[in-house]
Structure 1
Amino acid sequence: MILLVDIGNTRIKWTIAEGGILSEQDAVSHELRPGLNTNLDQLAMLDQHWAEFETPERVVIANGLTAVPVRHIESWVKQHWLCPPTYLTTSKAELGVVNAYDRHQDLGIDRWMNLLASHHLVGGAACIIDCGTAVTVDAIKANGTHLGGCILPGVTTMRNALNQMGAITIEHPGQNALSSVNRSTKSGVYCGTLYAVTKAIDAIIVDMKKELGGDARCIITGGDAELIRPLLQIHAHHEKDWVFQGMLISVNQ
């Protein structure tokens, strides 16, 4: 049993791997919220989820940007299971995938895990769309060469930025399709932010496929994938655990 932990910008997500099979994901937020004074208060919620787990053989962590949750998770794991966690890092090359970045360590670990999963599970050129706090789109050739990618704000990040400029609330306009002619600020923000993300993704994928020199499979993952995918013009296959698949491939090498 391996506990795989993905620490993102706002959430700590985990799954259990046994015999190469991943369990359903679970998650807690590590953002500060009213009534919770410190990150430690929030991470105490892990007791509710992890205390009844059998002691894992390994605890493997992919840490995005946040230092504080890592310290508390490491302390919790050592106290309860007496095993120091293993931390995955981005490298210049791993398992046939070659990082496009000049400074390989600057590529986010979640993007690196997505690339590993795509190279080993798709079997051809791929474009990987990860929709979370930020939206990342990466291109990888069939031979494992990462061409690079794009980063843009996620839907919630855009809405939060607008909300900081004034008391703006969000309202679903009530139709399935996006509307460009909204009749309230609430629905205008709802649709406008979705337009910004989905149209950007569509345009990026068109150009990426040209860079890849032909057809490529599109994978979409991340917390907002189910919201974004039906609104795209391009076809994308939803893989909810792509980062964890990449982590499993990395630890099993």
Structure 2
Amino acid sequence: MKLLCDLGHTRVKWAWADGQVLSGWGSAPYEGEEGYAARLPVANAPSAVFAISVARDRNAAFAGFCQGRWGLTPLWHGSRREGFGVSSRYAPAESLGADRFAALVGVRVRHPGAPACVVDCGTAITVDALDARGVFRGGAILPGLTIAARALQAVAPALVAPVCEGRFGPCGGTTGEAVGAGLVLGAVGAIERIVHDQEAIVGAGALVILTGGDAPRISSYLTCPHEHWPHLTLEGLAVMAR
């Protein structure tokens, strides 16, 4: 089986591909006991490793890991001007994050001919517009929840975001609740505004697809119709790795 890997800014995600069937989903941070080196199996050697990466400073270490464990060199995939049913207007085309391109490919394969707004809620939050012809019309990037919280605390140490995963309302009763409300509701409001404006470009009724680690949390606040596809980038990579 093929091993598919998505090297993000803070975590690496993976899945096994047997033809068009994906299984064995996993993810881990880069360091510590829960790191990918401790969690990827030793005995089950893949036939090949296919990878996308936005953490290029980690590519060499990951390639060394694959070579040392299985004697395999990862086959890297990046963004293209055109391929796999997607045409890109990004400038330059290769500067589009490989994870964003893979997500567009994944949507295009599942719903060919449908416009979509793809919301990846990770370290950064990206909202990308794909029209019905498969043309990527561009997108927006904003800080993810964790990055926004750290940036706020860096300049105002007393404004610590709450650790709990509780529900936040618009009228926080403590500083922590107010910070949490601002971070979550601010991100949700930005996403909904961007999706609204992107629909004017790609077409009303566009699919709104959420993916990424913070997608479940953000999904619970969104008022617009949407779907959660947790493994979208790896689904797209599976198509690219055929």
**TM-score (structure 2 length as normaliser):** 0.92
Matched, 1:153 2:143: yes
CA distance in 1, matches of 2:197, 2:33: 41
Gap change, CA 1:43 and 1:185, over 3 Å in 2 = same
Cα offset for 1:15? 1.2
Q: Report the Cα distance in structure 2 between the residues aligned to 1:122 and 1:236, rounded to whole angstroms.
A: 14
Residues 13 and 27 of structure 1 are in contact (CA less than 8 Å); yes or no, is this contact kept in structure 2?
yes
Q: Which residue of 2 aligns with 1:35?
A: none
1:90 aligns with 2:85: no
- Distance apart, 1:174 and its partner CA: 8.8
* Amino acid across the alignment from 1:140: L
The match for 1:119 is: 108
| 1:27-75 CA distance string (max 9 Å, x none) | 2213xxxxxxxxxx649943422243411111011011331x2212111
| Offset from partner CA, 1:184-234 (integer Å, 9 cap, x none) | 111111110011100001111111111113221111000000000110111
Matched with 1:57 is 47
Matches within 5 A, 1:173-192: 176=167, 178-192=168-182
With the length of structure 1 as denominator, give the TM-score of the two structures.
Answer: 0.89
What does residue 170 of structure 1 align with?
Answer: 161
Moved over 2 A (4+): 41-48, 50-53, 167-176
Could you tell me how far 1:17 is from its partner in structure 2? Answer: 1.3
| Structure 2 unaligned blocks of 5 or more | none
Partner in structure 2 of residue 240 of structure 1: 230
Shift of 1:13: 1.3
Percent identity, aligned pairs only, is: 28
The alpha-carbon distance between structure 1 residues 175 and 2, as it changes in their structure 2 partners (threshold 3 A), is closer
1:133–1:107 distance in 2 versus 1, CA, 3 Å: same
The correspondence for 1:102, drawn from 85, 91, 95, is 91
The whole-number CA distance in structure 2 between the counterparts of 1:78 and 1:182 is 51
Classify the secondary structure of the residue corresponding to 1:231: coil
Structure 1 residue 175, shift from structure 2 partner: 6.5
Q: Report what 1:135 is aligned to.
A: 125
Is the 8 Å Cα contact of residues 220 and 238 (structure 1) preserved in structure 2? Answer: yes
- Structure 1 distance, partners of 2:120, 2:43, is 29
Secondary structure of 1:61 counterpart: strand
Pair 1:26-2:26 in alignment: yes
Residue 217 to residue 46, structure 1, CA distance change in 2 (3 Å): closer
Q: Amino acid of the residue matched to residue 218 of structure 2?
A: I
Contact 1:117/1:243, CA 8 A, preserved across alignment: yes
The equivalent position to 2:61 in structure 1, one of 56, 68, 72, is 72
Q: Contact conserved, 2:29 with 2:35, CA < 8 A, in 1?
A: no
Match of 1:3 in 2: 3
Q: Which residue of 2 aligns with 1:34?
A: none
Does the C-alpha gap of structure 1 residues 161 and 78 become closer, same or farther in structure 2, counting only changes over 3 Å?
Answer: same
Aligned equivalents of 2:240 and 2:33: distance in 1? 26
